[in-house]
Every structure is written in structure tokens, then in C-alpha cells.
Chain A
Amino acid sequence: DQQVKQNSPSLSVQEGRISILNCDYTNSMFDYFLWYKKYPAEGPTFLISISSIKDKNEDGRFTVFLNKSAKHLSLHIVPSQPGDSAVYFCAASPSGSARQLTFGSGTQLTVLP
């Protein structure tokens, strides 16, 4: 039962262009959402988060959008840089509990120079 789905296992984007990574969830109890970035042979690192009371959160080149009615969130990276090439995991939790984080399976982003 995949409550958090990242349907695109991979995405390639040209340097300088926008990268859009998508995530869908099924559990209506989820109210806090996070994106993690993972390089090979390293652990995931926290990137950006959003709570369900917002529909957008921005941090530098990274913006997360939340569409609660569609149970969909997306991560926009503008402009994309080769160093952004990594696996991006979407995660969600109910009541903002870090103990109940559910992760998606990740999207491999490749930014081409």
C-alpha cells in the first residue's frame, strides 16, 4: 500500500531550465510534507518542507507547491544546476509527526550541462 507515490523514477533536464518533480499521496491524514535529496552512497538530506495550511513554500531555487484537493505536491528547482543531480524523495506525515514519515520511492534527477 503505497501512500506516497513518485510515479516518475527518473527525469532529465538541461542546465538552467526548470526541474519539476511530482509526488502524489493517498492518505488524507497527511498534513506535513517534505522533500529530501540523496546523493549516491550518502544518506538523504532535508531540502524543504510544507505544512497543509500553506500551498507554497520557497527557499532559494527550490519551491514546493501543495494541492490538497488533488493530494499532489511538486518540487520546482529553478534554475537547475548539475549539482542538483540526485535522487529526490517525497515524504509525508500525519500531524507533523517525524515518527510517522512515509517516503516515496524517489525520482532520479539528472541535470545535463
Chain B
Amino acid sequence: DTAVSQTPKYLVTQMGNDKSIKCEQNLGHDTMYWYKQDSKKFLKIMFSYNNKELIINETVPNRFSPKSPDKAHLNLHINSLELGDSAVYFCASSQGAGSGSPLHFGNGTRLTVT
């Protein structure tokens, strides 16, 4: 009965590869997000998306792209992986994007680029 699930939990890959992380939420939420937790433990938003609007953090390289096949899924595609992409990536969802909408997070995907 996991609310926000992401796969895989661990991902080890080589530089230059293309990889995807999948995220699904069964909460009926209309907004989904991807966050990156960097080496200093800060959680930084990468994307937020609902069926109307994709908002991209301007600092995110265009090698990263979200793909949403439907309202319950927001997958993260990463092209030409670099060493600096190594981090923990969290998917999250909320109902709406206002102050009464706390985020529900998945358990994270630890990406290691070698």
C-alpha cells in the first residue's frame, strides 16, 4: 500500500549512459515532483508537474527530463550521465501545490555514476 514508490532503489552505472528512474503514486494527487539530495544533504527541487504545467528548476541540466505517461506516474530520464549526477533522487507528490499540500515522498533512488 506504498503511497509513492520509485524504482530502482539503487542504480549504479557508468558515465555516458542513459538511465531512467520510475515513480508512481497511488494517492490520487495531481502534482508530482523530483528532488535531488546532494552531497551536502540539501533537498533541491528539480521539476514539478501536473497535467497542465511543467516547471523546471533553471539550474537542472537539460540532460534531465521528466516524462509523465499519466497522472499517477512521473519518470525521470537522464542522458549522458556524469559523475556529478551521483546523488539520491526523491520523487514526491501533492494534491495541488498550495500551502495546504504537504509533499509525500518516495523512499529515494541512490544513483552512483562511476
Contact = CB atoms under 8 A, between A and B. Distances in A.
- Please tell me the size bucket of the interface on A: 20 to 34
Interface of B: 4, 31, 33, 40-45, 48, 55, 90, 92, 94, 96-108
B105 A43 contact: yes
B42 A43 contact: no
B113 to A, nearest CB: 20
A97 B102 contact: no
B107 A43 contact: yes
Contact of B99 (A44, A93, A104): A93
Interface of A: 2, 32, 34, 36, 41-46, 49, 51, 87, 89, 91, 93, 95-101, 103-106
Contact of B102 (A41, A49, A87, A100): A49
Contacts of A49: 99, 102
The 6 A-B pairs at the shortest CB distance, nearest first, are namely A96-B99, A43-B105, A46-B102, A103-B43, A99-B48, A98-B97
